[in-house]
Structure 1
Amino acid sequence: MPPKDASMRSSAMIAVVLVQFLIGALICIVGILRIDTNIEDVMQWLPDHSDERALYESLVSRFGVDDFLLVTWDGCMAGDPRRQRVEDRLQQDDVNGLVAKTISGADLLETNGAAYETPAAIIERFRGFFFGQNDQTCIAIILTQSGMTNRLESMEFVETVVRDSVGADQPGLLIVGYPAISAEGDKLIRQNLTNALLPCCLLATGVAWFFLRDLRLVLVVFLTSGVASGTSIAMVTLSGYKWGGLTSAIPALTFILSVSGTLHLINYARGAEHDSIAATALRLGWKPCLFSALTTAVSMLSLSHSEYQAIREFGFFCAVGVVNSVFWQLAFAPWALQLIAGKIETGRAGASLVRMHDWTAAHSLFVFGVFTVTLVVTASGLPLLQSGLEVEEMFGSEIATIRDVARFEAKIGPIDQTELLIEFFDADPAQVADRAAAIRQLQTALVETPEVDATLSATAWLPPESEQRGIAGVSARVLYRKKLAGLREQLTETSYLSLQSSPAGEATETWRISLRFPFSKSVDFEQLRDSVAIVAQQELVKRYSPDQIQIQQTGVGLLYHVAQNKLMADLFFNYLLAFAVICPLMMLALWSVPLGLLSMIPNCFPAICLYGAIGLWGQPIDIGIAIAGCIALGIAVDDTTHFMMRAKEIAFREGGSTRITRSAIRTAYSQCSRAMLATTLIASVGLAAFLNQTLLVMSRFSLVLILSLLIALVCDLLLLPALLYTFRVTDQVDVDA
C-alpha cells in the first residue's frame, strides 16, 4: 500500500475513533448530570395487580394517605411555641401540595373536648401515638398522594421547615417515618454511583491488565467499557426515567459486560497483522458477541414481565445497557485496538487449563456424576426458600435514620402500623354510639394480642360516655348519644371515619383502626393478619350479624407481605421465561438441538445450586437476590456462547463437519478458557466493590451474582466438556495429548 494511502487511512481511522469517543463522552456527561432517583416511590416495590393493593387504594381514597412523618425534640411539650410555628409554616410554605395536614398533641388538647374531661385523660388516651414519656408530644405530618409519591421532596421540605423553626442544633431533634428512610435510600443510591462504580471500574480494569499485561490493550478495554457504562446511565436519565434501588447496578453491569466482550475480541485478534486487527476481531467475534448480547438481553428482558415496577424497569434498562454495550464493542473497540495497539501477541494458551480439559475428557462420567449429586443435594433446598421484603432490611442498622426511629419509639411510641377497616352496612346515624362502643371494645381486645402494641381509632376523639347510674345516668347517656350523632360528620375530619352510600342508597360507615408495633420488631404479618381477623370477628359478632359488617385489613406493611408471597412466584416465572427464550437461541446459534440443550445445563446449574443452598441455609429472598439469578444466567451464557461457537467454527474449518469434534473442543478450550477465566474474574472482582454498600439490597445482589458467575465458570470448564463427552454429541476424533 502506498505511504500516502496508508497515511490517509490512518488519519480517517483516528478521526472515526475520536469522533465516536467524543460523542459517547458527551452523552455520558449530559446523562450523568440529569440523574434523578425514585426510591421514595413505595409502590415500585409492590406488585401491580392484587386484591390487597386495590384495597389499599380504596383506603387512600376514603381516608387519605397513611404515609406520615413524625417530629419531636427534647422539650417538645404541648405549650412549646415552636410546635405551633412548625405547624403554621408547614401549611403556609407548602406550595407543591405535599402536606395534607398536621396533628400534634397540643392540637388534641385544644380541640378534643377538654370541657368533658381533664387534659391528663386526653393525654393518656393518645399516649403511644401523640404523647410519650414525661408527656412529651410530637407532630404528625400526614402527606398527600403527591407527597407520598415524592417522598424525597417531602422530606427535604419538612426538614427545612423544622430546622428553621426549631433550630438545627436543637438537642433530641428527630424526624422519622418511611419518607425519611426513603430520603436516606436516595442518598445511598447516589453514593453507589459515586463510591462503588469507580472502584468497580478500576478493579475490573486492574484484573484486565493482569491478564493482558499490555497498557495499550487495557486502555482500549477501559475506554470502551467506560463509554458503554456512561451511555447506559444516559439512556435511563435522558428517557425521563428515574433511578431506583436496583437500577444503580446497571452501569456496573454494563461496564463488566463490555470488559468481557472486549476481552474476547482481543483474544480473537491475537496473532493478526497490525493492519488486519480490526477485520480479524470483527470476522471472528461479531457473531458470538451478538449472540452473547442477544441471550444476555433476553434474560434481562424476562424481568420486564415482573409484577414489580422496580424489577421491570431494572430488567428493561439492563437489556438496553447490553445492546448499548455490544454496539461499543463492535463499533469502537476493534478500530481503537488497531489504532492504539501494535501486533497483538498470541500469548499464553493456558497449559494448565488445557490439562484440566484433558483430565475431564478422560473422566467425563465421574465429573458428570459429581455435579449431578451436588445438584440433587442443593436442589432439595428449593422448596424451603422464603421471601423477605421488609423495607428496613434494605439498609444497614448503622444508618442514622434507623437509629433515629429507635430513639423516637423509646420516647413516644411505635411507628410501624397496619390498618383494620370495619365497615357497617345500613348504618343508622342515631346508633353511632353503639358502634363506637363496639370499636372501643375491639381495640381493648386487640391490644391484648401479642402482635399489637397500640391502637388508634376515631373513638379517641370522642368524649367519654358517662358511667353514672340511676335516672341521671340514663339521661346523661341519652344526651351523649344525641351529641355523638351530631359529631358523626366531624369525626370524618380525623381520617379515621368514612361515610359513604352504597349503590342501593344505603348508608355505610367505615371505621379505621390503626394497629401499631415497633419498627424494629420482626413481625409475622401472616400471624398478625390471622390473629387480628379472629379477634375482630369474635368481638363484633357479639353485637352484629355477619351480614351487617365487613372486616378488612390493609396498609403498606400488609402490602409488603403480599409482595413477599408473590416474589417467589415472580422469581421462578422470570427465570423460566429467560430459559425458554435463551435455549432456542442457543440451538439456533449452534445449529443443533442436543448441543443447545447441553450448553444450557452449565448455565442453569449455578441458579439451582445456589438458590437451593440459600434455601437450606434459611436466608430470605429479597428483590436483589431474586433478580440475580436471571442476570447471572444472561452473563454466564456469554462464555458458553463464545466457547461453543468457536468449537463449531474450528470443526467446520477442519473438515466441514456439522458436529463438534473432540479435537475442535480441545482447540477451542485452549483458545477460550483463559478468556473465560479472565472475564469471570473481572466481573467478580468488579462487583466486589458493591459488597460493602450500606444499601443491603445491592450488596446481596452483588454477592449472589458473584457466586453465580464463579460457579458458572467451574461448570463451563468442567461440566460442559464432561457433558459433551458423556452424551456422545461429538465426532470421536482422537485428541493428541
Structure 2
Amino acid sequence: NFGFYSAAAVLATLVLLFLVLPAWLSLWPSREFAEKVKLARDDPNERTTKKHTLFHRVWHVIGGQVIRHNGLVAAGCVGVMIFFAVGVRWIDPSIQLMKLFSPGTRILVDYEWLEHHLGPLMPMEVVVRVDKDSNMTFAQQMRLARDVESAIETLEPVGGAISAATFAPDLGKRRFRVGGLSGQKERFLSKELEEHREDFAEGGYLQVDKETGEELWRVSARVEALSDLDYGAFVEELRAVVEPIREYYVANGATGISVTYTGLVPLVYKAQTELFTGLFNSLLMAFVLIAFVMMLVLRSFSAGMISMLPNLFPVLIIFGAMGWLGILVDVGTMMTASVALGVAVDDTIHYLTWFRHGLDMGYSRKRAAMVAYQRCATAMSQTTLIGGLGLAVFALSTFTPTQRFGYIMLTLLFAALVGDLIFLPALLTGPFGRFFDRGRKPGGGDDGRPRDDWSSPETRPARRRVDEQATVSDLPSKSNGEPISPRRDKPSPLPTPHGHLAKPRRLVKE
C-alpha cells in the first residue's frame, strides 16, 4: 500500500502544481519580482544587476572543475560505485523484533526485567502431527512429543521447552517398535493418559484437527528476545535435532508422522527472507520502469541507460556502505531504495532538460552543461535540502524502522544530488555525452571552457533591449540630414553565443 498511496499523492501534487500554484503566484506575486518588473516597465533602459545566491556561486565553481576534469570525475564516480556495489552482497536483512524500538522504551525495559527474573520470552513452536490412521498408541505419541521436547532443550539459545508430556507421569524410556508386544503396564498407562485427553487439550498442548482428524502435539520453546539471535540459523539448528527423532520412529515402523515448525521465530525468519526478496524485486522493477521512461524521453536506448547511472549512484553508495559496515537492513530501510531512485530521476530529468535546451541553442556539450548548472543547480539543491529536512523529521520517531527511514532518506537525497550535479555532468561532457546530442546542430567557436554568466541565454534579451532602444541621434543619416529609420521587419544582426552574426529573420511572414 505504501507504493500505491505514494503514487497517488505525487499525481495529486502534480495537479496542484499546474493548477493552483500559478493562480496563487498571479494573485500574490513575489515582492522582489514585482519590484523588478515595475522598474523595467518604468525605465526600459535600466538594467538591474542579478544577485546570485550562495548555491549558484558554489555550483558555478564546482561545475567548472567537473567539466574541465570530466574524465577523472566520471572515472572516480564509477570506481566508487563499483567499490560500494561489492558491499551490497553483504547486506544483512533482519527483523529483530525488540530492535524495532529505540533503547530505553518501556517495552524494552519490561522485557529485560522479565527475562532477567523469569527467563526467555520469545516463543518457538514445534507441532508434531500424527495421522488418525497411525499405528501408534496414545502413550507412544506422548513419548514422541517428550523426545522432541528433550532434544529442543539441548540447544544453547533455548531457555526451556514444554509439552503435554511435561504434565504427564513418568513415561519411561520405552521406544516404539512395530510388532512389539505391549505389556499390561503399557496398556494401562496408555488408557489412563487418554482418559485425561481433555485436560491436555485445555492446556493448549494437544488438539485434534477437525478437518483431517490428525492429533497435534504442541512442543513450545522459549528463546531470548533481546539477544542477537540469528533466526534463520536457529531454525536450521532446530530441524537438525528434531528430524532425526522423527526418522527414528519412522524407521521402526511408525506411520503418519510429520513435523511443522511455527511460532514467532519462524515467522520472523520468513519475513526476513521476504524482506530481502522484496528489496531486490522492488529495486529491479523501479529501475526497469524508470529506464524505459528515460529511453522514451531521450529517444535513445544508449542515452537512457547512461542517464540511469547517476540514479543508481545513491542506492549503491548507501546500501553498499551498509553492507561493508554490517548495518542491518530492516523494513524501514528496505523502502528507501525505490523511493530514492524515484526522487533521483526527478533531478536527472531536470538537469537533462536544460542541457538539451543548451544543445538546441547551438552550444557545445561543455557550454550546455554549464548553462544547465546556472539554470537548475540552485533549484535542485534547494529541493534536496527541503525534502531531506522534511523527511528527517521521521528520524525523531521512537519506532526504529520509521527512524531509519528518515535519516537514510536524508542521506540518499544528498547522495542523489552528488550523482546528478557531479557524476551526470561529467558523463555528459565526456565521450558518453555524444549519445545525447545526436541530431542536434553542434556549436562552433567554443573552446570548451566554462565561462561567466554572459554566455547564459537569459542575458541575451537584455542585450537585445539595449540595441533596440538606440536613440535617433545614434542612427546613420541620409544625405539631406534626415535620419534613416530602422526597419522593423528586418532587425539588425545580433551576435550569437558563438560570436557569429545571427541570420536575420522577418518578424512578419511574407
Normalising by structure 1, what TM-score? 0.53
Structure 2 CA distance for partners of 1:594 and 1:430, relative to 1, 3 Å: closer
| 1:498 and 2:207 matched | yes
Paired letter, 2:24: A
Distance between the aligned counterparts of 2:216 and 2:443, measured in 1? 77
Structure 2 CA distance for partners of 1:594 and 1:538, relative to 1, 3 Å: closer
Structure 2 CA distance for partners of 1:466 and 1:380, relative to 1, 3 Å: closer
- Selected match of 2:5 from 317, 338, 341: 317
- Selected match of 2:380 from 676, 699, 708: 676
Q: CA deviation at 1:532?
A: 1.9
Alignment-derived partner of residue 519 in structure 1: 225
Per-residue CA shift, 1:117-149, capped at 9, x if unaligned? Answer: xxxxxxxxxxxxxxxxxxxxxxxxxxxxxxxxx
Structure 2 CA distance for partners of 1:403 and 1:547, relative to 1, 3 Å: same
- Selected match of 1:365 from 68, 71, 82: 71
Distance between the aligned counterparts of 1:396 and 1:708, measured in 2? 22
| 1:353 and 2:62 matched | no
| 1:452 and 2:158 matched | yes
Structure 2 CA distance for partners of 1:671 and 1:501, relative to 1, 3 Å: closer
CA contact (8 A) 2:231 2:268 kept: no
Distance between the aligned counterparts of 1:327 and 1:476, measured in 2? 82
Q: CA deviation at 1:430?
A: 7.8
Paired letter, 1:700: R
Per-residue CA shift, 1:327-368, capped at 9, x if unaligned? Answer: 222221122122222462665261331232222221111111
Structure 2 CA distance for partners of 1:484 and 1:322, relative to 1, 3 Å: same
Per-residue CA shift, 1:137-169, capped at 9, x if unaligned? Answer: xxxxxxxxxxxxxxxxxxxxxxxxxxxxxxxxx
Distance between the aligned counterparts of 2:256 and 2:185, measured in 1? 28
Aligned residues with identical type, % of pairs: 27
Q: CA deviation at 1:631?
A: 0.5
Per-residue CA shift, 1:58-97, capped at 9, x if unaligned? Answer: xxxxxxxxxxxxxxxxxxxxxxxxxxxxxxxxxxxxxxxx
Alignment-derived partner of residue 275 in structure 2: 567
Q: CA deviation at 1:563?
A: 1.6
Alignment-derived partner of residue 720 in structure 1: 424
Paired letter, 1:693: S
Structure 2 CA distance for partners of 1:540 and 1:430, relative to 1, 3 Å: closer
Distance between the aligned counterparts of 1:377 and 1:611, measured in 2? 12
Distance between the aligned counterparts of 1:454 and 1:396, measured in 2? 28
Per-residue CA shift, 1:376-398, capped at 9, x if unaligned? Answer: 11111111111111222211121
Distance between the aligned counterparts of 1:715 and 1:343, measured in 2? 33
Question: How is 1:89-238 mapped onto 2 (pairs within 5 angstroms)?
Answer: none
Q: CA deviation at 1:662?
A: 3.7
Question: How is 1:142-541 mapped onto 2 (pairs within 5 angstroms)?
Answer: 313-341=1-29, 342=31, 344=33, 347-348=51-52, 350-426=56-132, 431-464=137-170, 478-500=187-209, 508-541=214-247
Alignment-derived partner of residue 138 in structure 1: none
Q: CA deviation at 1:497?
A: 1.5
Distance between the aligned counterparts of 1:442 and 1:664, measured in 2? 73
Distance between the aligned counterparts of 1:644 and 1:330, measured in 2? 21
Q: Helix, strand or coil: the match of 1:520?
A: coil
Q: CA deviation at 1:614?
A: 1.0
Q: Which has the larger radius of gyration?
A: 2
Q: Helix, strand or coil: the match of 1:453?
A: strand
Alignment-derived partner of residue 704 in structure 1: 408
Per-residue CA shift, 1:643-693, capped at 9, x if unaligned? Answer: 2112323433x25x9xx8443332221011111111112222222222232
Distance between the aligned counterparts of 1:548 and 1:389, measured in 2? 35
CA contact (8 A) 2:99 2:400 kept: yes
Q: List runs of 5+ in structure 2 lacking aligned partners.
A: 37-49, 174-182, 452-510
Structure 2 CA distance for partners of 1:531 and 1:430, relative to 1, 3 Å: closer
CA contact (8 A) 1:466 1:477 kept: no
CA contact (8 A) 2:67 2:366 kept: no
Paired letter, 2:13: S
Structure 2 CA distance for partners of 1:352 and 1:502, relative to 1, 3 Å: closer
Q: Helix, strand or coil: the match of 2:396?
A: coil
Paired letter, 1:686: G
Distance between the aligned counterparts of 1:394 and 1:688, measured in 2? 18
Q: CA deviation at 1:569?
A: 2.1
CA contact (8 A) 1:691 1:700 kept: yes
Structure 2 CA distance for partners of 1:543 and 1:588, relative to 1, 3 Å: closer
Q: Helix, strand or coil: the match of 2:318?
A: helix
Alignment-derived partner of residue 287 in structure 2: 579
Paired letter, 2:260: Q
Alignment-derived partner of residue 240 in structure 1: none
Q: Helix, strand or coil: the match of 1:422?
A: strand
Q: List runs of 5+ in structure 1 lacking aligned partners.
A: 1-312, 468-473
Bigger helix fraction: 1
| 1:611 and 2:319 matched | yes
Alignment-derived partner of residue 468 in structure 2: none
Per-residue CA shift, 1:31-56, capped at 9, x if unaligned? Answer: xxxxxxxxxxxxxxxxxxxxxxxxxx
